[in-house]
Structure 1
Amino acid sequence: MAKVIIYQIFTRLFGNRVEDCRKGGTLAENGCGKMNDFDAATLRRIKSLGITHVWYTGVIRHATVTDYSVHGIPRQHPAVVKGKAGSPYAITDYYDIDPDIAVDVDKRMSEFEALVKRTHKAGMKVIIDFVPNHVARQYRSVCKPEGVRDLGEDDDRNMHFSTENNFYYCWGQPFEADIDLHCGEAEAYSEVPARATGNDCFGNRPGRNDWYETVKLNYGVDYCDAGGRSEHFCPIPDTWNKMTDILLFWAAKGVDGFRCDMAEMVPVAFWAWATDKVKYRYPDIKFIGEVYNPEQYRSYINAGFDWLYDKVGMYDCVRDVICGRRRAGDITSQWQATDDIGGNMLYFLENHDEQRIGSDFFAGDGRKGIPGLMVSALMRQNPVMVYAGQEFGEHGMDEEGFSGRDGRTTIFDYWTVLAINHGYFNRRKLTKEEKALEQVYSKILNIALTESAVTDGLFYDLMYRNEAIGDNVYTFLRKSGNELLVIAANFSGNVADCGIVIPRHACEFLGIGESVHEGVELLSGDKDVFNIVSDSAVSVSIPANGGVVWKIIL
């Protein structure tokens, strides 16, 4: 079994070289990364980090204030675009590639197809976003295949709800959001009748904190039925067919997986229907679900999802441990809560929605995330994800424009992430600390990728016999064949010299004989001799904000 290690890349930021970006700057002022920036050398560097899958975020055309009308792309009204670049989750054409990331706008699909081929040639798989719950307010496909009817094209706008409609309508009421509907334009943005907003706002007046730039898609659920929410799935709603066709379109382009945005806002019944059809034709394709309700995890896995975000469980816990708000030993209860579906849970410490580890709002130093990465990558066989720049300790403390200084890397603005720029295109500007952190990330991820004890081995949590060190240290075993890994992650800012008890049950369960064994620490290269005796302690020294991976041949 191969360990899946996903590298999320916000595509338009990754290759940008402009280092003096202006707050709220335009494309002309701040520049933009391109798909062609991912040349063979760059892809090799990504793969060498230990990556198996690249999630190219924001490749499908979405709303932007940049005018591409000369290329036949409809212009968007700035009142319903967040930021100059716009949100990649306000899709304007499901069948198109975003022009910002193309060198030749008129050949943008060809450039994407070439990117998929280059990524595959580099030995990695390709994941893109599928945004099923909502679209941009001015969605209009100009690239849809012949014979395809556009979303909303045949809707009866005099009906609030119909299974034949793709949108929900506030009939007789205009769109009156709590925003400036002119936004510098001579004519105000107009939408009559108003359509429901993406975050399940079914009135005609969404607030500025709503997803006002998006429109909710109708999957046959009447959220405003007089008797409460009701489902109407027979006959199959029109939206089901259209969205499944979109998945099949991109699968035919060679895409290996879909990260499904806000998957839990779309009914489980649709996912079971759609994933079955897609996997029938493309058996190896993967579906990643952004699902935050643990009570719904198993329903979405049964509906065809391969991996689900483990955000409210593992992420929240590990973050709290890093920040000193919880004990390291609390990690045990998180994996236990999903033990029956452990292989389906996607672990991560950063993504485009979350704050950077190095930000002032999280840990203030990317190096403090090392023990969290060790736990996430080495504890189980399930996939782990890294957000581009995380490996260099990117701070995320820029104030880019629409995105304020909030500890996150913007998804709304044209910008350059200096850590990425230096790490991939100007490495002489990397600091010693950034280079050292990248090296640690590479070692941990490649251990996860290549050590059979991690990819295929058994897991044994040692915390129930090591509560005394559980405030700051989390320790566990992995074993495959005659190879044993003793792993300990130290979330403290001080060196931890401690004894790790190997209980008798662990020796029996893993088949560890009591004897003296030589070991090598895979992160540092240090060597030592261990006398393993049931219910006795093994002495280890664990670096501050770091860890050890002792490999012992039994």
Structure 2
Amino acid sequence: MEKDTKLGTEGKKVVYHVFTRLFGNTNTTNKPWGTIEENGVGKFNDFTPKALREIKKLGVTHIWYTGVPHHALINDYTDIGISNDHPSVVKGRAGSPYAVKDYYNVNPDLAVDPANRLQEFEALIARTHKAGMKVIIDIVPNHVARKYEGKTNPEGVTDFGSNDNTSVEYDANNNFYYIPNTAFELPDIEPPLGGEANPLLDHPFVEMPAKWTGNGSRKARPDKNDWYETAKINYGVRPDGQVDFPYLPWGYDTESFEKHFEFWQDKTVPDSWYKFRDIALYWIDKGVDGFRYDMAELVPFEFWSFMNSAIKMKRPDAFLLAEVYNPDLYYNYIKMGKMDYLYDKVGTYDKLKDVIQGRSWPDELTQIQYDMWDISHHMLKFLDNHDEQRIASPEFAGDADKGKPMMVVSATISSAPVMIYFGQEVGEPANENAGFGTHSRTSIFDYIGVPSHQRWINEGKFDGGQLTAAEASLRDFYKRLLNFTLESTALMGEFQEIQFANRYHTEGYDTAIYSFTRWSENQKLIVVTNFSAEQTSTFNLKVPKLVIEKWNLADGTYKVVDQLYKKIKWSLQVSNGEGAIAMQLSPLESVILELK
């Protein structure tokens, strides 16, 4: 498989995905439905220079701070002019970060001085940059909180819906879709706040007329599984699916962002397009280096061309990551929508999960990479994130060490960025009953502590002083692996499978073994991993003639050194143009062998 010809000298990127509200919280109470006073909350200021240095030393280039924009929540901030949110349209007590209430300010929970919250976040941006990393925040373009209310809008900026014609279901320049003359009704949901009394619950939430719900429900009374706390944004897509915006010309999949930007300059587009473009540029001007776009596939890719090209004109190196789960849409969102990266969820992540849960062999990982050959560099790899079950939870793998072979493959199989979620590197299992959130996923809706991560925090020392031996060993593994990816030129180069030759023609090469090669002009790697948690495998790994020819190796003996733990106990024997390495892999062991 050929490398992406546009990579140039660009190196591997490593994203540290952190739920900002939880990162610095050292409170261990963990009461279900606990208040901010009972369970505690992390602050922007908890990302101290020491904490950021340790994250950087883990092998991180970008931090994705999740939950920064001001979203609907329960805590009372009326003393600084913020209206209360009705508990019936807030998920949990701390609120969903994906029900944004004010895009021009930040979550007051995260500030030591809520009135000064924006300045505290700006200081965090500066500290992150000083530590040598870049800043990513969320933008959620598909929906906003039902009670959107900008309190600190820049001059000339109006709130979503403020100029809408609410007497019609659709107008191209309406920000929302409406159900005229019909009031919004709550679905049949569990009592808010776990049944606790709240003065705001003495009166119903009022929305007249009702808006379409974030996930597209057109019912005035959405289902409890709908995104009932949010309202869907209108991008000029009519209810019948026709559109009121220009299509990109044929062939624009190969055009530059400059050409895309030029295309939109004389076009008229719906009002929502301008609003979100201006939001993104506002944060770029604040020093934010990129965005993670929530549920991007629910928004037309033409809008992404419009907004992303405008961002790139200001910041050509901006990091633009989108949540897209439909493989049929990948190409358009990358090439036409000018996304840098999409989640590799449906392909690599799902297959790795199947493998570690014993439902599949790893062989198909190779075909997944070949199927994406033209967009492989753009498909970000991950295992944990805020939407997914923790690796160490019983519902996923039940053992953090089972994440090791998955992580080695994720980090080395392509030139795409790799992402880890805070606490993953110390084996956080997310066992807590947080309230609205359920165990196996670290709750994004509640005030809660993250126990394994808190042991690494060690009361603000950020030195891992309370970690168990197993947790410290796991973090050391992640640190070794991620730092290697930053330095490796081979991981930005070529990929060649060797699984087929070994899987069917090598004695002792068990079904849980997976291998491939990566190389550049000055580095040659062989990656071999054992997904079995029980079986030690002994075999002579074949390095096929095709690889030996591409590496231009003559017959003879070559030293190979494991780049994770610097072990030197293997050699590559090349005879008659074919290579072999005598190997023994322990359960869950992986090696990244560099040819010396």
Task: State how far apart, in whole Å, the 2-side matches of 1:106 and 1:505 are.
Answer: 64
Q: Is the 8 A contact 2:188 2:224 kept in 1?
A: yes
Q: Is the 8 A contact 1:128 1:255 kept in 2?
A: yes
1:370 partner letter = K
Q: What are the within-5 Å matches in structure 2 for residues 233-248 of structure 1?
A: 233=245, 235-248=268-281
Task: State how far apart, in whole Å, the 2-side matches of 1:128 and 1:269 are.
Answer: 22
Task: State how far apart, in whole Å, the 1-side matches of 2:212 and 2:101 are.
Answer: 16
Q: What are the within-5 Å matches in structure 2 for residues 54-73 of structure 1?
A: 54-73=63-82
In the TM superposition, residue 486 of structure 1 has moved relative to its aligned partner by: 1.7
In the TM superposition, residue 392 of structure 1 has moved relative to its aligned partner by: 0.7
2:573 partner letter = N
Name the CA shift for 1:349/1:146 in 2 (closer, same or farther; >3 Å): same
Counterpart selection for 1:262 from 279, 282, 295: 295
Q: Is the 8 A contact 2:436 2:445 kept in 1?
A: yes
Corresponding residue for 1:530?
A: 572
Corresponding residue for 1:231?
A: 243
Corresponding residue for 2:249?
A: none
In the TM superposition, residue 283 of structure 1 has moved relative to its aligned partner by: 1.4
Task: State how far apart, in whole Å, the 2-side matches of 1:347 and 1:545 are.
Answer: 19
Corresponding residue for 2:61?
A: 52
Q: Deviations over 1:395-417 (max 9, x none)?
A: 01211000122x11100000110
1:285 partner letter = A
1:409 matches 2:452: no
2:114 partner letter = V
Q: Is the 8 A contact 2:92 2:445 kept in 1?
A: yes
2:211 partner letter = R
Corresponding residue for 2:262?
A: none
Q: Is the 8 A contact 1:327 1:470 kept in 2?
A: no
Q: Is the 8 A contact 2:510 2:537 kept in 1?
A: no
Task: State how far apart, in whole Å, the 2-side matches of 1:333 and 1:11 are.
Answer: 37
In the TM superposition, residue 537 of structure 1 has moved relative to its aligned partner by: 2.6
In the TM superposition, residue 457 of structure 1 has moved relative to its aligned partner by: 3.0
Corresponding residue for 1:376?
A: 410
Q: Is the 8 A contact 2:24 2:42 kept in 1?
A: yes
Q: Is the 8 A contact 1:532 1:538 kept in 2?
A: no
- Which stretch of structure 1 is more off in the superposition, 305-314 or 461-470? 461-470
Q: Deviations over 1:258-300 (max 9, x none)?
A: 0000000001111111111121122111211100011100100
- Which stretch of structure 1 is more off in the superposition, 509-518 or 290-299? 509-518
Task: State how far apart, in whole Å, the 2-side matches of 1:374 and 1:397 are.
Answer: 25
1:39 matches 2:48: yes
In the TM superposition, residue 181 of structure 1 has moved relative to its aligned partner by: 11
Corresponding residue for 2:328?
A: 295
Counterpart selection for 1:481 from 492, 517, 521: 521
Counterpart selection for 2:39 from 12, 20, 30: 30
In the TM superposition, residue 449 of structure 1 has moved relative to its aligned partner by: 1.0
Q: Is the 8 A contact 1:4 1:52 kept in 2?
A: yes
Corresponding residue for 1:501?
A: 542
Q: What are the within-5 Å matches in structure 2 for residues 121-520 of structure 1?
A: 121-179=130-188, 183=192, 184=198, 185-223=201-239, 225=240, 229-233=241-245, 235-302=268-335, 303-405=337-439, 407-426=440-459, 427-454=464-491, 456-468=492-504, 469=509, 471-493=511-533, 494-520=535-561
Q: Deviations over 1:381-440 (max 9, x none)?
A: 1111100000111101211000122x1110000011011111123533211110011111
Q: Deviations over 1:206-260 (max 9, x none)?
A: 111110000000000112x3xxx11111541011011100010001111111000
Q: What are the within-5 Å matches in structure 2 for residues 77-116 of structure 1?
A: 77-116=86-125
Q: Is the 8 A contact 1:329 1:470 kept in 2?
A: no
Corresponding residue for 2:255?
A: none
Q: Is the 8 A contact 2:458 2:465 kept in 1?
A: no
1:440 partner letter = F
In the TM superposition, residue 481 of structure 1 has moved relative to its aligned partner by: 3.1
1:379 partner letter = I
Task: State how far apart, in whole Å, the 2-side matches of 1:449 and 1:496 are.
Answer: 30
2:559 partner letter = E
Q: Deviations over 1:447-480 (max 9, x none)?
A: 11112222x3322211121114362111111223
SS in 2 for 1:3: coil
Task: State how far apart, in whole Å, the 2-side matches of 1:181 and 1:342 are.
Answer: 43
Task: State how far apart, in whole Å, the 1-side matches of 2:224 and 2:591 are.
Answer: 48
Task: State how far apart, in whole Å, the 1-side matches of 2:352 and 2:554 are.
Answer: 33
In the TM superposition, residue 43 of structure 1 has moved relative to its aligned partner by: 0.5
TM-score (norm 1): 0.96
1:33 partner letter = G
Counterpart selection for 1:544 from 587, 592, 596: 587
What stretches of structure 1 of length at least 5 have no aligned partner? none
SS in 1 for 2:325: coil
2:143 partner letter = H
Same amino acid, percent of matched pairs: 43
Query: How many aligned residue pairs are there?
Result: 547
Q: Is the 8 A contact 1:328 1:470 kept in 2?
A: no
SS in 2 for 1:523: coil
- Which stretch of structure 1 is more off in the superposition, 34-43 or 538-547? 538-547
Superposition RMSD in Å = 1.4
TM-score (norm 2): 0.90
1:530 partner letter = L
Q: Is the 8 A contact 1:137 1:215 kept in 2?
A: yes
Task: State how far apart, in whole Å, the 2-side matches of 1:182 and 1:408 are.
Answer: 21
Task: State how far apart, in whole Å, the 1-side matches of 2:303 and 2:393 are.
Answer: 38
Corresponding residue for 1:13?
A: 22
Task: State how far apart, in whole Å, the 1-side matches of 2:586 and 2:56 are.
Answer: 27
Task: State how far apart, in whole Å, the 2-side matches of 1:293 and 1:193 are.
Answer: 33
1:95 partner letter = Y
SS in 2 for 1:526: coil
Q: Is the 8 A contact 2:458 2:466 kept in 1?
A: no
SS in 1 for 2:374: helix
What stretches of structure 2 of length at least 5 have no aligned partner? 1-9, 193-197, 247-267
Q: Is the 8 A contact 1:62 1:136 kept in 2?
A: yes
Task: State how far apart, in whole Å, the 2-side matches of 1:276 and 1:450 are.
Answer: 30
SS in 1 for 2:363: helix
1:7 partner letter = Y
